[in-house]
Chain A
């Protein structure tokens, strides 16, 4: 029997041709494709059948899954995830126990070298006891499943950089996927969580073009992570004009000035929040008056405090920044110089009193 195409499954789920084309159009726009990209996506979905997907959950909070199923376009969650793709996902599959394990094995054997591996969560290398599924450690499972994967998608900050579990002192030894699996293409879909449309865009790209999207140096798809939040932020004119919020309840906050001095990480964070926004494009943190905390960057939990521009200096108090320490060192230098100048003058006076310049000519 011929395997049904993605479009067949979409039709079977009751969507109209119009819904389908709208979906293709949305995805092409998200991916930044030209107009012909819509047709390309439609063609691909009409002719290709689903790619088998294994979605593994390790040390995570499931916010990536939550984000994905709340995607603005119903086809994303309904078809790509629910009906089409998932052969295994601890959170969403109906099967449980031995049945689930069997479906995992079946896919790994039947589609060896073809399936996509999607990983949510980090791996505890410090003590494997922190994350075991079916009596096996996360590391074991990951290595085995990655073996036959065509490509790996690392969902969110946990799988891409360790996120909150890896924050200092990292008790579980939480480790991102790219530090454990080598020699497989890994796509880091960063964020805590990533934006639903970004996640869908990556899946559609993989399905349509059957190759890895262009990635930046940290493995993030360029289509969504090549610009800083700061570069697409609607408050940017206030930044350039030097108009800053000083505290959360001041007049400037009400006027919608830039949140830079409230610790905004927009200038150092690569994500699409300013363009795609969140929850069906309703808003994004900065639009709601809160500075960006840099959730799509490695170590963002340790780059604190969130509401300060400068990090607290390691080894000093939480509120001590490099500027405080620099100022302290400057004062110490001044005191040292004063002491040195006094001692120099005493020495010089002695030489002058001796009537001879033994600093320069004696002891030859």
Chain B
């Protein structure tokens, strides 16, 4: 197949710094472990009977793994928030909250091009596009809620100060029952997000070929020379051309 695209015009951009990449994979691993152990806690399989309690502790172990992973997840998240203030321009916090008009325009544009597929011109930001950023903002909120409810219910079984920082959340929700309920429902948000997230990464690589999949490993993305230098407003204009 012939290509009109010439290699010379491709530029490599270092997008995801090492802390961002570490954060991403630790976070992904934690969420998988937390969702699996969490689901088991909420709906334990009863595969044992005709035995005595003194012979086993598997359910306690599942809970232990959930709690240890929860602490890793929490501190990793705290690190990412810090990096949102000191990292490079693709990692900064303002990417994730659409406060500017062009970000909203880009969201509409992305919906037309990538979701509904009624427009052809892809949106070529170097970092996240605005719709992706907004989605990540929602996942950050879900992280916060999950940590609040999780540590809130954990506080009842812990003397240490960190979980007890969150103990106020439980009376606010009316009791442990509601906190656990919300905690359980939010698990589904993470599962649905995970499915869509992985699919969309593949989709973008499939269509745009910027190396987005491997960018979270090595940090580099391929962008065409002039695309890399465009600011948000110029991108919107080019999106609306067709």
Contacts and interface: CB of A to CB of B under 8 A. Distances in A.
A252 B49 contact: yes
B230 to A, nearest CB: 11
Interface in A122-177: none
B175 A359 contact: no
Contacts of A348: 206-207
A361 B4 contact: yes
Contacts of A265: 177
A357 interface: yes
B75 interface: no
Nearest to B170: A217
Interface in B199-213: 199, 203, 206-209
B48 interface: yes
Contacts of B59: 239-242
Contacts of B55: 241
B191 A330 contact: yes
B126 to A, nearest CB: 14
A269 to B, nearest CB: 8
Contacts of B117: 340, 343-344, 347
A358 interface: yes
Contacts of A252: 46, 49
B177 A303 contact: yes
Contacts of B2: 355-356
A120 interface: no
Interface string A99-113: 000000000000000
Interface string A219-260: 000000001100100000111111110100001100101001
B84 to A, nearest CB: 28
A237 B209 CA distance: 55
Interface in A309-333: 309-311, 322-323, 325-326, 329-330, 333
A360 B49 contact: no
B51 A325 contact: no
Contacts of A358: 120
Which of B48, B49, B56, B224 has the largest number of chain A CB atoms within 10 A? B49
B199 A325 contact: no
Interface stretch (B15-23, B103-111, B135-143, B181-189): B181-189
B interface, size bucket? 35 or more
B195 A333 contact: yes
B75 to A, nearest CB: 26
Contacts of A257: 49
A214 interface: no
Given A356-B4, A358-B120, A246 B188 contact: no
Contact of B46 (A242, A343, A361): A242
Nearest to A239: B59
B176 A297 contact: yes
A310 B53 contact: no
A337 B54 contact: no
A51 interface: no
B181 A311 contact: yes
A243 B156 CA distance: 23
Contact of B181 (A269, A310, A363): A310
Contacts of A191: none
Contacts of B42: 309-310, 323
B196 interface: yes
A309 B43 contact: yes
A322 B42 CA distance: 11
Contact of A218 (B171, B188, B199): B171
Interface in A6-23: none
Given A231-B157, A355-B1, A360-B122, A241 B53 contact: yes
Contact of B176 (A261, A268, A311, A359): A268
B146 to A, nearest CB: 14
Contacts of B115: 340
B241 interface: yes
B56 A268 contact: no
11 contacts: A241-B48, A243-B53, A257-B49, A265-B177, A269-B177, A297-B176, A298-B174, A326-B192, A330-B195, A337-B199, A347-B207
Question: 5 tightest A-B contacts by CB?
Answer: A326-B188, A242-B59, A268-B176, A237-B53, A240-B60
Given A268-B153, A270-B176, A360-B209, 14 more contacts: A217-B167, A217-B171, A231-B157, A237-B53, A240-B53, A241-B55, A242-B47, A268-B175, A326-B187, A326-B188, A340-B115, A355-B2, A360-B122, A360-B224
